Structures are given as structure tokens and as C-alpha cells.
A and B are shown apart, each in its own frame.
Chain A
């Protein structure tokens, strides 16, 4: 067995998820986690220093008269192994980050420690979908599609209440046009690794002009793409819309429920979260019901757009609108 620090590190290896606050870069989140884990791992009691026998000049004065040096054997600690000399046992921990979240978005961010990185690669190879909830607002268009960006255009949305049916229709359209899109998607291969973003589900869960909230399931997206979707949706509705917040509520099997808020980014809490995740996976594996693949993409529920390029995607949005 290794030292206590190594044992502690092995307990930390695996996958877990944190809740990234908005306004913080994901790199900062990752580095904070790494620092906290290092602190936890290195706080374990250090190994006792090895001793070696050395011959020290004896303080006895009698023998120095003869012009020689008297030595006596003594067992002294080997200082070159002292933690102050070698530094802490762990100086880096490999912490990998799952699908990224940009600065202004918040939500579930998957992190992998040590050999969990391999597991994470496998997890993302299974084409897991992610859930987002988008908080949007009608009435303006900005350069970067967020509410803080430079305003390009302001529009009224007074007409919208009369047209609000169209929005509900829009969200229901998604559902009803599912089969059509499945047909459309049949000719295409499933996205292998990197591909253009694919929306597999879109739902309006809250509508109170000018604010509304969308729930999106998607693959290979970026947060900017989602904001652009909102922007284009606003245009389609003959108004403009900006996205006030992007919040990821699920990434593959990781949900909000298991995400650690930033007060719990300590080694002990992370170890506990890992344990929970492992336990959950094991119990699922035993039941044989839900595997990563099944979580990934269930064709029965998926619908909507798979696009080759920007132009193509816009047409699909238009199609969504029309139908």
C-alpha cells in the first residue's frame, strides 16, 4: 500500500459534477478544484522520516588532544526526505473538464480526476445529450445575443400576446413534427464525435412576456449556439429576443441534484460525490436497465434539427416555425 496521501488520492479518482456559477471561467473552477483536492490529499499525515546511521564528531574533549576527531554513531533522520525539502507529495492532480460552459453560463460541469479522465472520454463517446434551460427576453437584439451585449436593435413585443399562441404552437410544433424530422434525419449518420450542434428537443416551460424560459435538449452544442437559436427565434416571431442566462441542468447522467455548489468543493465532499456516483452506476449496472448508451440518445424522444451547416439550420428553424 502507498502512503496515506496515495490512498486518499485513489479515493478521489473518478467522475463527479459541480455547479459552475455564472461569471466564472471554467478554467478557474477547474483550478480551484485542483487546489482544494491537493490541499486535502497533502493534509494527510506524512510518512515518518527514515533514519540513517551517521558518525558525528563526539563532543568528548579527551581525544582531540591527540589531534584526531572522535566519532560516535548516531541515528539521525534523513532530512533530504523531509516534506519541507521534497515539497508536498502531490503537486499536480490531473483534473479533466467535460463539456465546457462559457463564462456567462452556469450549471452542471462534469469533472474527472485521475483515471476518471478515461471514463469521461468513454462517456462522451456515447453521444450523451445535455439539458439546458434558457432564460430569454423579448424586445431587443444584441451583438452577442446576451442581455449585456451591445444592443443592435430594439423592438416592441406588444403584438405578441395576440401571437402568443404561435409560441405555444411553436413548442407544440416541436412535438408534432417529431416524426417528420425523424424521417429527415434518417438519411443522416449519427454525429460521430464533432459535428454541428443538434437540437433534439425544445420546449417552452414558462411564458410571461417579455420573459420566457426554454428547455432544450441538444448534442454538440455551444452556449453561443443556444443564444443564437433564441435570437433567431425572436426574429422568426417578428420581434427580437436575447438570452439572459444559459443554465445547464443535465450533462449525460449527471443532474443538478448531484452537482456540488462552490461551498462543497473540498476533497471530502468530492470523495463523497464520487462514492455516490460509483454506487449509483453499480446499482444501475446490476439492474441492467439504464446504461450510458440508453441515457445518451433515445430516438423515440428525439426530434428536430440535425443540420449540416448554418444555412441548413436556419431553414429548419423556419420549418419549425411554419409547421
Chain B
């Protein structure tokens, strides 16, 4: 009996948040007291629960007395509360049942189990465990106090549940230090919802919310006023609201940087590259990552382009405006590609400036295609001579089109050729 009740209680506690569980428990006790009373008085009390109808009077009585025993025993531990309950149940005796839904379940459960217990009544082991012990032992903490994974918390935490429904990759976030506990401490309605609404307001699409939070969970703990200030700053720099939205959804960390820092970055690109403000806006809008990262690698890349690769200032400007990714590319890769283009393929600087996309391609792709064309005798990159192959087409066409249009060969030939390199 006691264990059954304990199970019920545990179940209730498990289902509800800790705050409301104690309350629910009291309600249950109240009800069982009331049923007991009404049965004893036998005043034809017809509670709304249908369970009374199915039971014979005798068993009902016996079970309710069990209830009575149990509840009184339990209530002795909390004497004050029990007296309150008793007085209250007396007062509300003739009212309809308080909690039909819950009580139908809990009573149903507790009425089922005594039947089972009656069968092995002789089993003294069940009798010897006192209720207090049973309560003490058999209630495992529903939520582990510490864990390496968010898995155990997902079903219980409203915030995490909602985040999963948004499409946030919690398995990635939980690997980052302190992020898991930060997420658990957030309250959905108080912390998360306003920021999501804010993001929606500035025009971020719903499908991108999951991506943004997966990459930058700290936006959920950022001050709303700060976020608004940064968006206002970007708008004051004449970024249109659609641009701001697309920038935020592609560079999730953008709004976590202070206005001063953003201003610093924008100023740097404008001055260093001597670009017009429209062009600066253009490259930043296309590669918002530029505003988030460190400036050192960018400076290095510019120096590499200028000194090592020997581009002129206006050429660098042109390249950067066409392909802003050159600024964040790996400088080793840049030199490797340039070395191959300039020294092996003998492409002059002005042609590279004309087709800056080649600096953004994969080295192996460029090398294999060039060697294939050279093998076929079609590697001719001078626009003034017949059989001109533009660099743009060389690197940007997919394999099939490249083989068909530029090399006039089948992809199979190309793959076979690759095996001879």
C-alpha cells in the first residue's frame, strides 16, 4: 500500500515541477480523506468519479480504510498540516470532487495496487518498511544535479524543449564550456522569447533562428537594449533592414559585438582599402564575417597580396570588391594558387585581377584542369590568341561541363588522366 502510494506520489512529483508537486500531494491527501469520510457516513455521497460504481461496498470500505490508515499515518508526520486538511475536508464535504481528472487517476492506481497487495498479505517484507523509509529510499532525483550532457534535461526543461523544436543542435552546444548550464538557467518566457521576437522583428527568417542559436547561444543572454543599439547603428550606416537581417542570419556573432567595435571594423575596411562607403557596405553585406573576426589575418592577407603577389593597390581593391573572401582566405593557399597561376600557367597579373574568382578556388581543381588541358594542348589563357580559355570558366564550371565544353573529352577520360598525375 505504502509503496504504491509512494510510487504514485513519486510519479506526480516527477511529472510536475518541484514547486507544484507538494501542492498536488496535499490535494490528493485531502481527497482520500474525504472519500473515506463519506463512505463511513454512508450518506449516499456520489462523487463524480466513476470508480465507486464498479466496486462492491465491502472492498470499497476496506480500501478506503487503507487510505485512511495511510493518510493519518502520513499526516502525523506533518501534524499541523493534517489538522488543517481535516478541517478543510469537513467544510467541503458535500462539494463535488475537487479534482476529477487527477484523482480518477491516482485513486484508480491506488485501488488497483491494494488488490495486488492483499493477495500477498502474508509477505511481511512489505509490511516492515515504514512509510518514511519508503519515501526516503525509493525517490530518485528526477534530474541529475550534474551531467556531461543535456540529454537528461531536455524533457523537463521548457527552454530546452522549445530550443529543440526551433532546430537548435544541442549536441553541438553541450560540448562548449559553460553553454549547457547557461541554457538551463534561462527561462523561456523571460529570457529566450523576447530575443527570438527581437530577431524576428529585425527580419530574420524563422528557419534561421535555429542556426543562429546553434552557433551563438550567447545571443540569448545579451541585453536587449544592446542588441537594439547595434541594429540601430548598422541602420545608421545605411544598411537596409533586409541587409541587416541577412547579415545577422549569416554571421550569428555580429550582434554580440559592441557598437564601438563594429564601427572600428567598418572604418578599418574603408580606410585600409580606400573604398567608397557604398563599396564597403557591399563587401560587408556579402561577407558579414569580416566584422566579427580579428583584423590581423586580414592585414596579413593584404600585405601578402601587395608584397608577395605583387598586385597594385587598385588591383587589390578590385579583387576585394569582387571576391571579399580573399581577405579571410588562408594566405598559404593564396600564395600556392597564385604561384601556380603565375609561374606554371603563365597568367599575367591583369588577367588574375580580371577573374579574381580563381583565387577562391581549390588548388587541386585548378591544377588538375590545367594539366589536363595542357595534355590535350588546349591550355591557352591569352585572350588575344585563338582557342582562348577564360580563367573564370576554367575553375567555375562543373566537371561534366568542363570536360564537354573546354576539353572536348568525356569525364571518364578526365578521371583516368587524374590517375596518371
User: Does A106 sit at the interface, judged by CB under 8 A?
Assistant: yes
**Chain B residues with CB below 8 A from A263, complex form:** 399, 415
CB-nearest residue of chain B relative to A52?
B155
CB distance from A89 to the nearest CB of B (A): 11
Q: Mark B98-114, 1 if CB is under 8 A from A, else 0.
A: 11111001000000000
Q: Mark A83-106, 1 if CB is under 8 A from B, else 0.
A: 011110000000000000000001
User: Does A78 sit at the interface, judged by CB under 8 A?
Assistant: yes
One of B164-172, B219-227, B280-288 contacting the partner = B164-172
One of A69-77, A121-129, A162-170, A226-234 contacting the partner = A69-77
CB atoms of A80 and B24 under 8 A apart: no
CB atoms of A68 and B171 under 8 A apart: no
One of B55-63, B146-154, B230-238, B375-383 contacting the partner = B146-154
CB atoms of A80 and B168 under 8 A apart: no
For the complex, what is the distance from the CA of A106 to the CA of B309, rounded to whole Å? 28
Q: Mark A177-218, 1 if CB is under 8 A from B, else 0.
A: 000000000000000000000000000000000000000000
CB atoms of A84 and B168 under 8 A apart: yes
CB atoms of B419 and A80 under 8 A apart: no
Please provide the chain A residues from 219 to 249 with a CB less than 8 Å away from any CB of chain B in the complex: 247
CB-nearest residue of chain A relative to B21?
A69
CB distance from A56 to the nearest CB of B (A): 9
CB contact under 8 A between A79 and B161, given known A54-B15, A71-B15, A84-B169: yes
**Chain A residues with CB below 8 A from B421, complex form:** 21-22, 106, 247
Please provide the chain B residues from 362 to 420 with a CB less than 8 Å away from any CB of chain A in the complex: 363-364, 367-368, 399, 415, 418-420
CB atoms of A69 and B24 under 8 A apart: yes
CB contact under 8 A between A87 and B15, given known A68-B27, A71-B105, A80-B152: no
CB contact under 8 A between A23 and B151, given known A71-B102, A84-B167: no
User: Does B94 sit at the interface, judged by CB under 8 A?
Assistant: no
CB-nearest residue of chain A relative to B97?
A66
Q: Interface size on A (CB < 8 Å)?
A: 33
User: Does A82 sit at the interface, judged by CB under 8 A?
Assistant: yes
User: Does A259 sit at the interface, judged by CB under 8 A?
Assistant: yes
User: Does A58 sit at the interface, judged by CB under 8 A?
Assistant: yes
CB distance from B148 to the nearest CB of A (A): 13
CB distance from B89 to the nearest CB of A (A): 13
**Chain A residues with CB below 8 A from B368, complex form:** 21
- Which of A54, A80, A86 lies at the interface centre, i.e. has the most chain B CB atoms within 10 A of its CB? A80
Interface of B is mostly: helix
CB atoms of A80 and B154 under 8 A apart: yes
CB atoms of B152 and A84 under 8 A apart: no
CB distance from B254 to the nearest CB of A (A): 24
CB distance from A175 to the nearest CB of B (A): 26
Give the contact-size bracket for chain B. 35 or more
CB distance from A168 to the nearest CB of B (A): 24
CB distance from A302 to the nearest CB of B (A): 26
User: Does A55 sit at the interface, judged by CB under 8 A?
Assistant: yes
User: Does B129 sit at the interface, judged by CB under 8 A?
Assistant: no
CB atoms of A84 and B98 under 8 A apart: no
**Chain A residues with CB below 8 A from B150, complex form:** 85
Question: Within the complex, which residue of A21, A55, A68, A84 is in contact with B170, where a contact is CB–CB below 8 Å?
Answer: A84
**Chain A residues with CB below 8 A from B80, complex form:** none
For the complex, what is the distance from the CA of A86 to the CA of B368, rounded to whole Å? 41
Please provide the chain B residues from 105 to 158 with a CB less than 8 Å away from any CB of chain A in the complex: 105, 150-152, 154-155
**Chain B residues with CB below 8 A from A67, complex form:** 23, 27, 98
CB-nearest residue of chain A relative to B30?
A68
CB atoms of A71 and B171 under 8 A apart: no
**Chain A residues with CB below 8 A from B50, complex form:** none
Question: Within the complex, which residue of B24, B105, B167, B363 is in contact with A68, where a contact is CB–CB below 8 Å?
Answer: B24
CB contact under 8 A between A69 and B102, given known A256-B419, A262-B364: yes
User: Does A19 sit at the interface, judged by CB under 8 A?
Assistant: yes
CB contact under 8 A between A79 and B364, given known A68-B24, A69-B102, A263-B399: no
CB atoms of B15 and A55 under 8 A apart: yes
CB atoms of B172 and A261 under 8 A apart: no
For the complex, what is the distance from the CA of A80 to the CA of B174, rounded to whole Å? 13
CB-nearest residue of chain A relative to B31?
A68
For the complex, what is the distance from the CA of A106 to the CA of B371, rounded to whole Å? 15
For the complex, what is the distance from the CA of A84 to the CA of B163, rounded to whole Å? 10
For the complex, what is the distance from the CA of A259 to the CA of B421, rounded to whole Å? 13
CB atoms of A79 and B155 under 8 A apart: yes
User: Does B52 sit at the interface, judged by CB under 8 A?
Assistant: no
For the complex, what is the distance from the CA of A306 to the CA of B224, rounded to whole Å? 75
CB atoms of B172 and A87 under 8 A apart: yes
CB atoms of A69 and B151 under 8 A apart: no
CB-nearest residue of chain B relative to A106?
B421
For the complex, what is the distance from the CA of A80 to the CA of B149, rounded to whole Å? 10
For the complex, what is the distance from the CA of A82 to the CA of B420, rounded to whole Å? 47
CB distance from B62 to the nearest CB of A (A): 27
**Chain B residues with CB below 8 A from A247, complex form:** 420-421
For the complex, what is the distance from the CA of A72 to the CA of B23, rounded to whole Å? 17
For the complex, what is the distance from the CA of A264 to the CA of B420, rounded to whole Å? 16
CB distance from A60 to the nearest CB of B (A): 8
CB-nearest residue of chain A relative to B420?
A247
Question: Within the complex, which residue of A23, A70, A86, A87 is in contact with B101, where a contact is CB–CB below 8 Å?
Answer: A70
User: Does B329 sit at the interface, judged by CB under 8 A?
Assistant: no
**Chain B residues with CB below 8 A from A78, complex form:** 155
For the complex, what is the distance from the CA of A66 to the CA of B23, rounded to whole Å? 12
CB atoms of A85 and B170 under 8 A apart: yes
- Of all A-B residue pairs in the complex, the 7 with the closest CB atoms, nearest first, are A87-B171, A79-B154, A66-B98, A80-B151, A68-B99, A68-B27, A80-B154
18 more contacts with CB within 8 A, not counting A68-B24, A80-B151, are A21-B364, A23-B363, A24-B364, A58-B101, A63-B100, A66-B99, A68-B23, A69-B20, A79-B154, A79-B155, A80-B154, A84-B164, A85-B150, A85-B151, A87-B169, A87-B172, A247-B421, A262-B364
- Give 26 pairs: A residue, B residue, CB < 8 Å, sorted on A: A19-B419, A22-B421, A23-B363, A23-B367, A63-B98, A66-B99, A67-B23, A67-B98, A68-B23, A68-B24, A68-B102, A70-B101, A71-B101, A71-B102, A71-B105, A72-B101, A79-B155, A79-B160, A80-B151, A84-B164, A84-B169, A84-B171, A85-B151, A106-B421, A247-B421, A264-B415
